[in-house]
Amino acid sequence: MEIRRYLNTRLWRDSWFESLNANEKFVYIYLLTNPSTNMLGIYNLSIRRIAYDCNLNEQTTRRCIKKLEEALKIIYCKGYIIIPDWISQNAMNPSMKQSAMKDFDKLPDEVRSELPPQLLSAIQKMRPRTAHAVPTLFTQTPSDTPEKEEEEYPEKKEEKAYEKNTIPEEKEKTEKGNGEKEYAPEAERKTSTTSPLPHRNCHEDIPQPLENTCAQAIESQTWLEALCMNHRIDIAQLHEWLEHFCRKLQNEGNLQKSVRDFRQHFANWLHIQLENQRKHPQHHENLATANRENSRQRKLDAIAALRTTVESDALQRLRELEIEGTLPPLPET
């Protein structure tokens, strides 16, 4: 845990501190901030350690300690540093005070005997006071309490009398009714035996535009895999059939369809188409080939139209740059 010590800047303006030389000031600041300090301001520290940390010889260190003792700022006793003003100059919370009291309880008796009276008084003020038990002003004997309760709460007598009269009657009724069986009404039995309806996705029953319906229908990989496995076709062939089915719906004017209806309609239509293909393979091969050729031709037409548009735009831009003079003249084509 990181330990921090703070100094008041007024220290440099105190007359007693101004009268010290550099070594004495250094030793005093060291005694306030060295790692051996604690919350009590009384700790064990040898002269040799002080001299080593301050880079001084022991004779100079003892002279500095004596000067600080004459200024009544420290007390050096039995190898312990005592700082009388430590508690008064440091604000402490309850945990700090508790730590200071623990350090005080560990001090030897010969060190405690050298503590100034003011310091002892400040230490005793930090010790938590023990709580005293609050004496009871009124005592009641056990024999008095029932009479007071009956006097203050007369309704308890009525409750006891009511319990004596009603409880035996209720016991008799329950004993008589133990042998009888109660049956639930027929409506309750029916409702209890009926099984809940299966959960259905309501969004799949809402009609939507055909493009959205097709996109949502093919999102289900389980449905697509089931179709491929049951009809023994691959996924590429299935997508071709889906495209053909969507064009069929567009030609028929079915521009809106629910996802559930789309899947059911496509499954039935695909089954019929595959059955016809097995019966008349040559006819369907020609249709499939024609469909592929039409699709390929549409793609080529789209590419050609895009190329024409790009070339015209490029030529127009080059003409503009030529007019501006940023490009050399282009050869005639």
Kindly write down the DSSP assignment for every residue of 120-177, as one continuous string.
HHHHHHHSPPPPPPPPPS----TTHHHHHHHHH-THHHHHHHHHHHHHHHHHHHHHHH
pLDDT of residue 150: 45
Residue-wise pLDDT for 299-328, tens only, equals: 888 888 888 888 888 888 888 877 877 766
Are residues 119 and 17 part of one domain?
Answer: yes
Whether residue 147 is contained in a domain is answered as no
The residues with which 82 forms a beta bridge, in sequence order, are 42, 75
Q: State percent of the chain over pLDDT 90.
A: 20
pLDDT of residue 287: 63
Whether residue 61 is contained in a domain is answered as yes
Whether residue 327 is contained in a domain is answered as no
Which amino acid, residue 212? N
Q: Is residue 48 scored above 90 in pLDDT?
A: yes
Threshold 0.75, pTM exceeds: no
Candidates 113, 53, 52, 56; CA nearest to 82 is 113
pLDDT, averaged across the chain: 77
Which letter does DSSP use for residue 36 in this model? T
Q: Is residue 65 scored above 90 in pLDDT?
A: yes
Whether residue 54 is contained in a domain is answered as yes
Last residue of a domain, one of 110, 126, 142: 126
Last residue of a domain, one of 126, 156, 176: 126
Whether residue 211 is contained in a domain is answered as yes
Name the residue range of residue 112's domain.
9-126
Residue-wise pLDDT for 249-277, tens only, equals: 888 888 888 888 888 898 998 989 888 88
Contacts of 81 (CB under 8 A, 6+ apart): 31, 36, 42, 43, 44, 45, 74, 75
Are residues 103 and 17 part of one domain?
Answer: yes
- Asked which of 22-31, 100-109, 143-152 is least confident by mean pLDDT, the reply is 143-152
Last residue of a domain, one of 279, 297, 317: 279
> pLDDT higher for 87 or 330?
87
Candidates 117, 123, 68, 72; CA nearest to 98 is 123
CATH number reported for the structural domain that contains residue 69 in this entry: 1.10.10.10
The residues with which 295 forms a beta bridge, in sequence order, are none
pLDDT of residue 145: 46
**Total domains, the chain:** 2
8 Å CB contact between 79 and 66: no
pLDDT of residue 294: 76
Are residues 122 and 16 part of one domain?
Answer: yes
Q: Roughly how many angstroms between the first and final C-alpha of the chain, as a whole number?
A: 86
Are residues 208 and 116 part of one domain?
Answer: no
Whether residue 35 is contained in a domain is answered as yes
Which amino acid, residue 117? P
Whether residue 297 is contained in a domain is answered as no
Are residues 20 and 113 part of one domain?
Answer: yes
Q: Give all strands (DSSP E) within 170-259, no chain letters.
A: 208-209, 256-257
